[in-house]
Chains A and B, each alone.
Chain A
Amino acid sequence: MRHVRAASAVTLALAIAAAATGCGGGSTGTGSNESPKTLTYWASNQGPSIEADKEILTPELKKFEKETGIKVKLEVVPWADLLNRILAATASGQGPDVLNIGNTWSASLQATGALLPWDEKNFEEIGGRDRFVDSAVASAGKEGEPPAAVPLYSLAYALYYNKKMFADAGIEKPPATWDELVAAGQKISKGGKWGLGAEGGNVSNNIHQTFVLGQQHGADFFDKDGRATFTSDGAVAAVKQYIDFMAKDKIIAPGNAEYAQNQSLTDFAKGKTAMVLWQAAASTFAAQGMKPEDWGAAPVPVPSGTPGTGKQVNSMAAGINIAVFKNTKNIDGAKKFVKFMTGDEQQKHLNKTYGSIPPVKAAQADAAFGAPDLKVLRDTLATSAAPLPQVPNESQFETAVGTAVKELWADAAAGRPVTEESVRARLEKAQQTMQQ
């Protein structure tokens, strides 16, 4: 009898587990309020380390608990794991209640239907859509549909430059056009020093840079129907212009072709490279021993010299969004938590700590975001940043085109010619691997 009972227990366990495996995708309903006293929050790793993030966020979560009586279980997830973790949570239906997502993934994750859509009603519950900067909301989901998330920390690209290296080379002001940048870079690039840094092995960074150059050449990488247009003349010209900084203009060190761990920032801090195109680099420079007066920040160059909209775009609208898992057991609590995190005070405090810009207009006005470098980022975000293509296969685009650019860097570094044809051929191949 005992054996039979044991065997049936095992069978039952198996049945439950099999059901969990087999029917994991079944949960598509909207959340309930079955467990109103707790929330699980996956925070993306924003600070210098996971421990640092826990230290920064825990007091805030305690504050939230005091205000609402809802306990938040925090888990900080490293960037490299975050997307896979979200995918697994989506497929199994066993996810956190609230989570951070990279804003370039918004449309892809929106397509899964796992995230709570932020329609007007939901936005009203957190104070209204108008509280947020337009470009930040635009990067939270597909155009014409309720966003899949709410902007939390916003970032934009700026041109960071080493003041002393500029002075030594007799350059008076940071370049405003690409021609000026190349000219400045060539003045500096000698004797082991280089003009510009790049992260050739970092697929996402390649996309960010070539997307912006694409905008300046009038290319979008996708047409209105969401079909890939990687081989348009503008796209080819944009990618070639970026690679040519190493291949033709010789202002990027060949070694940058394999950089993927922010080594270009280390080179910058060591005085080996005079310029980098980066999002909110201040805290990293400080961590590497640079004083704030050693470097300056300027808008990323545009052909006309004056950033703006359309062909004057000089940054992607970067940042982190906060989203709610649709099947949360505490939908009201989750929305309250989003309201708390996007509240004026939290926005000021957290963005100040992380060196990002608040996507909430009221918080942006704080004096802390008026420092010269942050002002550049703020203005860029407000006037001349565009969201990456908000298409469901954005992730595919990043990998396909980002890898094509990575291979082109390798060609340039090895001294192989990078021509319009070779660029087009790589992009053609990338485009053909796009399914759907």
Chain B
Amino acid sequence: MTATVTEPRADTSAAKGTSRGTGGARRRLPRIPDRVRRGGLPYLLLLPAVLLELLIHIIPMIIGIVMSFRQLTQFFINNWGAAPWTGLDNYRIAVDFDAPIGEALLHSFFVTCVFTFFSVGFAWLLGTTAAILLQESFRGRGILRAVFLVPYALPVYAAVITWAFMFQRDNGLINHVLHEQLGIIDEPSFWLIGDNSIYTLIIVSVWKGWPFAFLMLMAGLQNIPRELYEAASIDGAGIWQQIRRITLPSLRPVNQVLVLVLFLWTFNDFNTPYVLFGRSAPENADLISIHIYQSSFVTWNFGTGSAMSVLLLLFLLLVTAVYLILTSRGRKGADV
């Protein structure tokens, strides 16, 4: 094994004309004892990634979990190690659905579920439709593909703040078009406060999310052999049948990942509601991410905020696990 690893390296460097660096590497390489290379080297190479992962994800997560068991308020953030230990109190407060804090959390959870369902659903539908339509080659397809990716490429803040301007009641473009130009609505509506705010949120979220679905599905479609369609059309299958029997089943593995990723991103989305509504969202659009942010950073109850975050994490883990079990079982079934 060792020989097969080192030999091609030597060949390449010889062929390219040995540079000083490569030569050095070649000379150094044999000095590593076989034992290390076989046993330790892979781990050593993994080490930086593992350390960074620890530093960026695992340690903060553990700190967050520890915080959720403490009564961490403004009195202790200067020295939060001294915050009193409160056991499960923060969790009790978060899930006491008869009391206002728990009730508000539950409310924002339901709002987030509705928001996620429609955002992911529409983003997926739009992405799929656009990907299928742009499969056939025609004049201007390249430009359309590029244009469709613009929302994905734009900085979120800039894009969402533009939407916020457009949704303003008195000076916004949306009311101008709907009310003054098309006459669809009798009088200008509020989009950023009150009942409509959830629609605003879904519209902006779909606009922001569907190009990713489009990109993934377009890549997935490239992998479906054209012969399948040709054979199907010879057998008399129409376009709908082709989509139902060939396209969608072939896209299944892509969709499996896509829907999960979209779900996680949307459920946790913070930027869209924060830029649209500021630090206090309207009741109808009070997403859980904003709600937790408010509990932690605006009202300075970091302990309760951490407990809510941990609950959210557990919920997302559970959903992801169930989803993965169900979809992989389904795929096995399909393979058989």
Contacts and interface: CB of A to CB of B under 8 A. Distances in A.
B75 A111 contact: yes
Contact of A399 (B75, B100, B104, B280): B280
Interface string A376-415: 0000000000000000110110011011001101110110
A90 B169 CA distance: 39
A201 interface: yes
A435 B93 contact: yes
B100 A433 contact: yes
B34 interface: no
Contact of A18 (B55, B99, B169, B300): B55
Contacts of B195: 414
B299 A395 contact: yes
A399 B299 contact: yes
Contacts of B19: none
Contacts of A109: 74
Interface string B134-176: 0000000000000000000000000000000000111100000
A7 B47 contact: yes
B294 A91 contact: no
Contact of A396 (B76, B100, B300): B300
B51 A11 contact: yes
A407 B283 contact: yes
Contact of A393 (B80, B192, B294, B300): B300
Interface in A94-112: 108-109, 111-112
A433 B51 contact: no
Contact of A392 (B48, B74, B100, B304): B74
Interface in B18-70: 44, 47-48, 51, 54-55, 59-60, 63
Contacts of B192: 201, 258
B278 interface: yes
Nearest to B62: A22
Interface residues of B, number: 46
B35 to A, nearest CB: 14
Contacts of A255: 169-170, 188
B106 interface: no
A17 B193 contact: no
B288 to A, nearest CB: 16
B79 interface: yes
Contacts of A433: 100-101, 104, 299
Contacts of A27: 78-79
Contact of A413 (B55, B75, B190): B190
B282 A396 contact: no
A368 B278 CA distance: 37
Given A399-B298, A435-B93, A112 B190 contact: no
Contacts of B301: 396, 435
A23 interface: yes
A62 to B, nearest CB: 33
Given A14-B54, A23-B81, A410 B59 contact: no
A304 B161 CA distance: 44
A10 interface: yes
A260 B167 CA distance: 14
Contacts of B194: 410-411, 413-414
Interface in B78-123: 78-82, 93, 99-101, 104
Given A203-B280, A436-B73, A3 B44 contact: yes
A433 B299 CA distance: 10
B48 A10 contact: yes
Given A393-B299, A414-B190, A258 B81 contact: no
Contacts of A414: 190, 194-195
A396 B302 CA distance: 12
A28 B76 CA distance: 11
B81 A260 contact: no
A435 B63 contact: no
B55 A14 contact: yes
Interface in A1-21: 3, 7, 10-11, 14, 17-18, 21
A310 interface: no
B315 interface: no
A395 B193 contact: no
Interface string A107-135: 01101111000000000000000000000
A25 B280 contact: no
A429 interface: yes
A21 B169 CA distance: 45
A402 B280 contact: yes
A263 B172 CA distance: 13
A346 to B, nearest CB: 30
B242 to A, nearest CB: 48
A28 B78 contact: yes
A93 B278 CA distance: 28
B59 A18 contact: yes
Contacts of A114: 77-78
B51 A10 contact: yes
Contacts of B104: 433
A26 interface: yes
Nearest to B100: A432
Contact of B63 (A22, A90, A395): A22
A253 B170 CA distance: 10
Nearest to A433: B100
A432 B104 CA distance: 11
Contacts of A22: 59, 63
A413 B195 CA distance: 12
A435 B101 contact: yes
Interface of A: 3, 7, 10-11, 14, 17-18, 21-23, 25-28, 84, 87, 90-91, 93, 108-109, 111-114, 200-201, 203, 253-255, 257-258, 260, 263, 392-393, 395-396, 399-400, 402-403, 406-407, 409-411, 413-414, 429, 432-433, 435-436
10 contacts: A10-B51, A22-B59, A22-B63, A25-B82, A113-B75, A253-B170, A263-B171, A399-B280, A413-B194, A433-B299
Given A10-B47, A410-B194, A413-B193, 17 more contacts: A23-B81, A25-B80, A25-B82, A90-B77, A91-B80, A108-B74, A109-B74, A112-B77, A112-B78, A201-B278, A203-B280, A255-B188, A258-B190, A260-B278, A414-B190, A432-B99, A435-B304
Among all A-B residue pairs, the 9 with the closest Cβ atoms: A432-B100, A396-B299, A255-B170, A403-B280, A410-B193, A25-B80, A410-B194, A114-B78, A25-B79
